[in-house]
Chains A and B, each alone.
Chain A
Amino acid sequence: MDVISQNIVYFIIAIAILVILFAWAYATGRMQKDFSTMTWVLIPVAIAINGVIGYIVGQLKLPVFLDSIGTVLVGALCGPWAGALTGALSNFVIGMLTNPTDWWPWIPVAFFIGLVAGLCANAGFFKSWWKVVVTGFLIALTAATVSTPIAVYFFGGITSSGSSFITAYLLQTGQGILQAVFSTNFLVEPVDKISTAMLAFAIVQGLSRRFVARFPRPENVETEGGASQTQLFVAIGVVVLLILFAIFILSRITGG
C-alpha cells in the first residue's frame, strides 16, 4: 500500500515527539511522581471499572462504549503517565480475557486517551463541568486521530465495529480512505468521550476529600466554586448541541 510510504514521515515525527516527551518527563521526575503505591493499587480497579461499565452499557444497549472511564479517572487523579499505562494495560487485559482481536489493536488509542486526560487535568481542565466537556472533546479528538491509522493499516479502513457503515458510505461518495475513516471517528468519538469524562468527573465528585488526597495529584480535581447544578445543565446543553452539530455535519456529508 502506498498510503504507508506517503505518510511514514508523519508517523516517524509523531513517534519522535512522543519519545522526547517521555524522556523529558522521566528526566524531570514528572513521571515518577505519578506512581505511588496508591496508583499501583488503583490501576487494577480502574481497569475493572473500564471492563465492567463497558459490560453494563452493553447490557443496557446504549449507543456508546464508555469503556475508558477508569482510564480517565486514573489520568486525572494520578497523572498522564499513569493514565496512559492504565489505558494500555486495560486493553491488553480485557482483550486477554474476552476477545484479543477487538481490543489489542487499539492499545495505542487507549494509551493516548489516558495521556491526554492526564495532561488536561494537569492543565487544570478537570475542575468544573464545562472544563470537563473540553477535556472530553480533546480526548475524542486524540482518539479519532490515533485510531485512524490503525483502522486503515491494520483492518484496511473498515473495522468490525458498527460505525463502519458510515465509513463505507463515505467511501462510496468518493472520499479518500484516510478522510473517510477520520470523519467517521470524528462523528462517533465526541459523544462517547465527553460522556466518559463527565462520568469520571461525577465519580471524583463522589469521593471523599481525605481519600482523594492520598493520590499523587489531588490538586488536579479540586473543584473551583463548587460543582453546581447550573453548571451541570450548561454542560449537558453543550453535549446536546455537539450531538446536533454532528448530525448536521453528517447530513451535509450525506446530502452533498
Chain B
Amino acid sequence: MHDRLSFYYYRDSILHQLNPLTKLVLVFGLMLISFIFPFFWTPHILILVAIIPLIFVGKVKREYLNATIRIILPATMFLFVMQALFQPLGDRELFRIWFLHPTLESTLFAFRNAARVFAIASSFTIFLLTTHPRELMSDLTRRGLPPQIAYVIISTLQILPQMQAKAQTIIAAQRSRGLDTQSSFLKRVGSLVPLVGPLVFGSLVEVEERAIAIEARGFTSTRVKTSLHEIPDTNLDKALRWILIGLVVITIALRIWLS
C-alpha cells in the first residue's frame, strides 16, 4: 500500500467526462477482445491503437508511466521471463544455459501472454486514473446497483486509510516499547499478536455505533433515494457503448467461425 491510497487524478479531458459505465464497458471490452480475438498480435495491436491513444486523450501520461514502471512492467517482465524459460512447448531451442532452454514456441507464447496481461493491466490503470470511485458508485447505484454495495465500497475507501494510519501508529508504538519486528522468524510471528490485536478490536468496537447511526438515517429504507449530483450520460456515451459491444460480438463470431 502506498502513501496515497487512490489512483484518481483530476484532469479536464474527454475521458474524464465520459460516463463511468462507458469506461467500465471499455475496460471489459478490451479485456475480452485481447483474450478472444484469434490473432497472435491482437494484444500488441491493442496496446498501440487503444491503450496509448487513451493515455493521451485522458492526459495522464506521467501518472500512467509512473504506475507502469512501478507495478505493471515488473510483473509482466517476470511473467515473460518465467514463461519463456519454463513453458514446456515446442522443441526448437533458441539457446541452452545449464538447464534453461527456452524454445521458440515458449518465447512466442510468453510474449503474447505478457502483452495480454500488460494490455489488461494498463486498461485497468487508465480506468482508475480517470474515474473517481464515488462517481462510479453513484452512477452504478442510479442504474440499479443495490445502495448497500455502494455504501460498502465508499465506506471502505474511507476506513482503509484511517486503519492504515492506525496500524502505522501501533507498529511505531510497539517498537518504541521494544517489540522486535525485524529479527528471527519466530520473533516476527510472535510480534503479530500485539500488532493485530489492538487494531482489530479497536475497529470492531465502532461497528455497533455505526450500525445504529446509519439505521437512524434510513439505511434500510426501500424508497428510491435522490442523488445530490447528477452524472452526465450523453449520446456519445451510448454510441460508444454500443460500438464496443458490437466489437466484442464480432470478435466472438470470428473466433467461432475460424475455429
Contact = CB atoms under 8 A, between A and B. Distances in A.
Given A37-B214, A47-B156, A98-B1, A155 B117 contact: yes
Given A171-B86, A172-B99, A38 B211 contact: yes
A55 B204 CA distance: 18
Interface in A27-82: 35, 37-38, 40-45, 47-49, 51-53, 55-57, 59-62
A247 to B, nearest CB: 15
A104 interface: yes
Given A52-B164, A60-B195, A101-B75, 17 more contacts: A38-B208, A43-B152, A44-B155, A48-B159, A48-B203, A51-B163, A56-B171, A56-B196, A89-B152, A100-B128, A101-B117, A157-B83, A160-B78, A168-B85, A171-B86, A171-B87, A214-B211
Given A48-B163, A60-B181, A101-B72, A155 B152 contact: no
Interface stretch (A7-15, A203-211, A219-227): A203-211
Interface of A: 35, 37-38, 40-45, 47-49, 51-53, 55-57, 59-62, 85, 89, 92-102, 104, 154-160, 164, 167-168, 171-172, 174, 177, 199, 203, 206-207, 211, 214
B159 A158 contact: no
Interface in B1-47: 1-2, 5-7
A102 B71 CA distance: 9
Contacts of A44: 151-152, 155-156, 159
B157 interface: yes
A95 B157 CA distance: 11
A211 B200 contact: no
Majority SS of interface residues in chain A? Answer: helix
Interface in B116-160: 117, 120-121, 124-125, 128, 133, 148-149, 151-153, 155-157, 159-160
Contact of B86 (A62, A155, A172): A172
Interface of B: 1-2, 5-7, 71-72, 74-75, 78-79, 82-83, 85-88, 99, 109-110, 113, 117, 120-121, 124-125, 128, 133, 148-149, 151-153, 155-157, 159-160, 162-164, 166-167, 171, 181, 185, 188-189, 191-192, 195-197, 199-201, 203-204, 206-208, 210-211, 214-215, 219-220
B160 A52 contact: yes
A41 B207 contact: yes
Contacts of A207: 201, 204
Contacts of B152: 40, 43-44, 47, 89
A44 B153 CA distance: 7
B60 to A, nearest CB: 15
What are the 6 A-B residue pairs with the smallest beta carbon separation, nearest first?
A168-B86, A100-B124, A101-B121, A160-B75, A156-B113, A44-B156
A155 B113 contact: yes
Interface centre among A40, A93, A104, A174, by most B CB within 10 Å? A40
A56 B188 contact: no
Nearest to B110: A156
B157 to A, nearest CB: 7
A99 B71 contact: yes
Contact of B120 (A41, A85, A101): A101
A56 B207 CA distance: 22
Given A41-B211, A158-B86, A52 B167 contact: yes
Contacts of A57: 192
B86 A42 contact: no
A52 B155 contact: no
Nearest to B4: A97
Contacts of B5: 97-98
Nearest to B86: A168
Contact of B1 (A51, A60, A206, A214): A51
A206 B171 contact: no
A181 to B, nearest CB: 12
Contacts of B197: 206
Contacts of A100: 121, 124-125, 128
Contact of A155 (B79, B99, B181, B210): B79
9 contacts: A51-B1, A60-B188, A60-B195, A97-B1, A100-B125, A102-B75, A156-B113, A171-B88, A177-B88
Contact of B2 (A59, A93, A96, A98): A98
A89 B153 contact: yes
A52 B1 CA distance: 9
A45 B163 CA distance: 9
Contacts of A61: 188
Nearest to A210: B208
